[in-house]
Chains A and B, each alone.
Chain A
Amino acid sequence: MNINHNGTITKIRALYGKRLRPEHYNEVASQRRVSDITEFLRTLPSYAYKLEGLDSNTIHRGMLEDILRRSVFEVYFKIIGFEHLEKEPFYNYKILQAEIREILTSIQHINAKSNQHIEKLPVYLDRFVSFSLLELAKARTRDDLLEVLNKTPYRALIENIPLRKSGRIDFNPTEKALRNYYYNTLLGSPYFKQKESSALKSLITTDIDLINVINAYRLVGYFGESASDVENILLPFTGKLRGGALREIYSAGDRHEFVDRFRNSYYGRVMENYGIVPSQTLELETQRLRYQYAKHALQASVSPVMSVYSYMFLYETEVNNLVTAIEAIRYGLSENEILPLLVL
């Protein structure tokens, strides 16, 4: 961690230079078919090699989306493999993220008695994760799940949470336990004992703040949950929303009041500086704010850890934007309807 990894920083800067610009998104949103999007992406240096060997005319929308999502990990492995960072602590955070995401997806399928987890399963990560992804997709009960997660720290976390009366796995506390584990592992990394880690810590706690805001917004806005119920699911980390500042927001009676209160909070004021107006689509606006934070963090970064973390967020957002555009085109949305859905 103390070694100078300027090569990684330079590589990330070069990759960031090839990011999609607004005019590219305009072009993507103006396409009417998946084959046209594929053809257009092929013309961009950053996507040409990722789509090599595909037939634009026959490619299925789902496959294109899978390939784009897979490219997040390809880029990630390319970056950390450049100076062999994979052996150093912290850098496996994307794998942790992926493991938790797949476990949560599996729980959703188990609760819904669905066997479709396999369809979007990222089997390409099978050799990197600490359990078998195929076995996870086969899990149909909590016991199956615990069996798959045997010998992993996740088993104990899930086991500690009792089943709901309906026999289903209690999703919210499980999610909270898994995300707690993720952030504890992340912030417990030796890197955070160093002085220069404060910028990354601040970026991560900002992310947590905004994730808490969004989770609270969903519970208050869509399910009318009380402040104490909301409190139970929030991650026990805070960034700028300390000393009851977050509680002040989620104590709102409804989503309109929630947005009003958020507008007056620290992040509401920061959003104003970026020209982002908090509204009923608060998920989108907080993502836009996270995107701006990551952009600034990357531009100011002189540390490989910060560069990897912020760039990966930016690249994943780019991929999510493409997937959103592809889905929107599938549903026949026009260019003018698609562009406001993107995080820029």
Chain B
Amino acid sequence: MPSIERMTLVNIAGMSRDIDATLRILGESGCFHIESASKISGKTRGFDASKELNPYLAPLKILQEIQSRYDVSYTPTDYSIVEGQRVEKITAFVKDLIEKLDSISEEKKNTLEHLSLREQAISQLDHLTGLNIDFQRLFHCEHVKVRFGRIPIDSYHKLPYYNDKLFYFTYFSEEKEYLWGVYFVPNNFAEEVDEIFNSLYFERMRVPDFVQGTAVDARDVIRDEIVKDKEKITDLNNQINEILRNERERLNMLYSRIKTQHDHFVLRDKAIVVNNKFYIVGFIPQKEEQRFQDHFKELTSVSIVMQPADENGKLPPPIKLNNNKFSEPFAMFVEMYGLPSYNGFNPTNLVAITYTLLFGMMFGDLGQGIVVFLIGLYLANKKKMAMGRIFERIGISSAIFGFIYGSVFGFEHLLDPVFKILNIPFLPFRSGDMNNAMNILIAAIGIGVFIMLMSIMINIITGIKSKDFEGALFANNGLAGFIFYGAIIAGLVSVLLGHSIFSVPYVIGLIVVPVLMMFFREPLADLVKGKKFKAESFAEFAVTSFFEVFEFLLGYASNTLSFVRIGGFVLSHAVMMSVVMMLMESVNGGAKPVVVIIGNLFVMGMEGLIVGIQVLRLEFYEIFSRFYKADGRAFEPVTVDFAEKK
């Protein structure tokens, strides 16, 4: 199975009367990636299907209104029972239904307003029960204004200051900061006194017209009204619920049908209709060819022409990655960076292997690895999180390396009896042992060199396949770079081992010549292609190429050293766990398990996250940047989105 799904370009043509049936088949096939047909044919003449009004839009909007206003949830369902119904009839039905629901809802809203006013009045009247006077009589006073409300206690103490003013204030009840009361003022002085009370932060309360009699009487009447309002609201809610209960199944079927037909109709935008004939273009996976054609058996007026996917240069084929079960979750990282081109290289397997191994090495602990695995199981199965499946894999890797390091939740000697039985000479390879530190760092660089050479090799192969000779042969990530970098590394290793292989022919042939190839990569590439090289001026070309090559050489060194972080994290993990162990030993018996648990959680949370990010960084910057051109676009078969507009 190719790692990038092979596609077939499909051209569909038929009589325009069959366009809806065709679009429906395309939607139901689940494997058709539609393209805009105008991309192939250029400008169109004649009838444009997209200008037609979508007949399903009106009923769909109503159904969605019902969904949002009345908290109805739709799920895709078989709608064959309502398939034969005319759209106009459906529209009339849902319109009638929403009007019925809205009218009950309007009544409920009015009752709620009525209730809210009475509840507010009750809370205010509670403060006025000390006043045994009929409100209406008060409000009908001809020469005196009456103002109910509350005044801050501090302001109340300032009232004696205004003894010379003509008003009378009395209060009936007290709150923390306020006194509830009323002031009376002759009409002629109302303006001045109102201003005084305003400046004293008096908050006026408007007693509603429906409050009749004394405060106590009014409160009893209003309480009765509140009970009645609440009963009415319950009754209206029941009416709404009953309607929805009776119509739920039907609504669900209607929504499934209308939404499907609406979404299929929208696809008309992608089609071209000329002289009563439509034309649709798109891609399907090559392996689906037969099944796809079978769908159209009964639609005889429609003809289907299949072509190789890269037949039309204007339409690059969409990308569907084929990954095995192990590497599948890591496609998330690849998609995060961008999809490969159709003839490119699918790096998911490479990411899966390198990510799993590097994470395990850098975060090696048997106990913590198992915990990460279990968290992964939980996230993947219970929460359906894609990250969970990655956790499962890196957890196992971490556990395996933890076993090699002999570390279980930071305890370095818990596995000693097992190693005694196994009797393997290099086990356990204690990462916390400082004698191993240099070996770990050298091994980290070794891994880095291997990964870099491998990445350059992949670039050479993909470059040759895509006829990018400059990149494949003469660039820093091409053959020249491979020879140069490989020769430098091999030479340095030989010097370290005491048998230097550096010699004049070695240096000239494997180091100087590749550098010159990199320097002259553009003219050399043109030479291979049979083109004539053109540069603005030799000086400009030389200066640009010099700095580029200089940057390449620096890049080899810095990128190689970048892998030291693998060793660094192996050591830091061991050191952090030894700190946890030291803290544990410094506390009393009962607190030891608490320190171990908190310490492990801290290390797992903090270091686990950092290692996860660092490995991803290595993947993206040290590996992907050498060969990966993320210029692909995803394969998205047409479907109906039921989750839309909740």
Contacts and interface: CB of A to CB of B under 8 A. Distances in A.
Interface of A: 52-55, 58, 60, 62-63, 66-67, 70, 118-119, 121, 123-124, 126, 134, 137-138
B161 A118 contact: yes
B201 A63 contact: yes
Contacts of B201: 60, 62-63
Contact of B175 (A53, A66, A118, A138): A53
Contact of B161 (A52, A63, A70, A134): A134
Contacts of B152: 63, 66
Taking residues whose C-beta sits less than 8 angstroms from the other chain, chain B's interface range is: 10 to 19
A137 B162 CA distance: 11
B108 to A, nearest CB: 26
Interface of B: 152, 154, 157-158, 160-161, 175-178, 199, 201, 203
A203 B547 CA distance: 66
A123 B177 contact: no
A118 B199 CA distance: 10
Contacts of A58: 203
Contacts of A123: 154, 157-158
Contacts of B199: 119
A82 B480 CA distance: 84
Nearest to B164: A138
Contact of A126 (B157, B175, B177, B203): B157
B154 A70 contact: yes
A137 B157 contact: no
Given A53-B177, A53-B178, A119-B199, A66 B154 contact: yes
Contacts of A137: 161
Nearest to A118: B161
A138 B154 CA distance: 17
A126 B177 CA distance: 17
Contacts of A126: 157
Nearest to A60: B201
A44 to B, nearest CB: 18
* List of 10 A-B pairs having minimum Cβ-Cβ separation, nearest first: A53-B176, A123-B157, A63-B201, A53-B177, A60-B201, A118-B161, A134-B161, A123-B158, A53-B175, A58-B203
A58 B176 CA distance: 16
A123 B156 CA distance: 10
B160 A134 contact: yes
Given A119-B199, A134-B160, 5 more contacts: A63-B201, A66-B154, A118-B161, A123-B157, A124-B154
Contacts of A134: 158, 160-161
B158 A121 contact: yes
Which label, helix, strand, loop or mixed, suits the secondary structure of the A interface? helix
A123 B175 CA distance: 19
Contacts of B161: 118, 134, 137-138
Contacts of A119: 199
Contacts of A118: 158, 161
6 contacts: A53-B176, A53-B178, A55-B203, A118-B158, A123-B157, A124-B157
Nearest to A67: B177
A119 B160 CA distance: 13
A124 B175 CA distance: 17
Nearest to B196: A118
Contacts of A62: 201
A331 B241 CA distance: 51
A54 B203 contact: no
A301 to B, nearest CB: 33
A54 B201 CA distance: 12
Contacts of A63: 152, 201
Nearest to A61: B201
A74 to B, nearest CB: 12
A215 to B, nearest CB: 31
Contacts of B176: 52-53
A53 B203 CA distance: 14
Contacts of A67: 177
Nearest to A135: B161
A139 B176 CA distance: 31
Contacts of A70: 154
A134 B199 CA distance: 16
Contacts of B158: 118, 121, 123, 134
A66 B154 CA distance: 9
Contacts of B154: 66, 70, 123-124
A145 to B, nearest CB: 16
A52 to B, nearest CB: 6
A124 B161 CA distance: 14
Contacts of A52: 176-177
A53 B176 CA distance: 6
A103 B324 CA distance: 88
Nearest to A137: B161
A134 B152 CA distance: 17
Contacts of B157: 123-124, 126
A192 B158 CA distance: 39
A126 B158 CA distance: 11
A298 to B, nearest CB: 30
Contacts of A55: 203
B165 to A, nearest CB: 12
Contacts of B160: 134
Contacts of B177: 52-54, 67
Contacts of A124: 154, 157
A134 B154 CA distance: 12
A67 B201 CA distance: 12
Indicate the member of B157, B161, B199, B203 with the most A CB atoms within 10 Å.
Answer: B161
A143 to B, nearest CB: 19
A38 to B, nearest CB: 12
A234 B176 CA distance: 44
A119 B154 CA distance: 11
B84 to A, nearest CB: 57
A280 B333 CA distance: 58
A53 B177 CA distance: 6
A131 to B, nearest CB: 15
A176 B79 CA distance: 92
Nearest to B178: A53
A340 B606 CA distance: 38
A137 B152 CA distance: 19
A70 B155 CA distance: 13
B147 to A, nearest CB: 15
Nearest to B176: A53
Nearest to A122: B154
B162 to A, nearest CB: 8
A134 B155 CA distance: 12
A62 B203 CA distance: 13
A55 B157 CA distance: 21
Nearest to B160: A134
A127 to B, nearest CB: 10
A62 B161 CA distance: 19
A50 B357 CA distance: 60
B206 to A, nearest CB: 13
A288 B161 CA distance: 38
Nearest to A63: B201
B194 to A, nearest CB: 15
A72 to B, nearest CB: 14
A70 B152 CA distance: 13
Contacts of B203: 55, 58
A123 B160 CA distance: 11
Nearest to A51: B177
Nearest to A49: B176
Contacts of A54: 177
Contacts of B178: 53
B54 to A, nearest CB: 43
A54 to B, nearest CB: 6
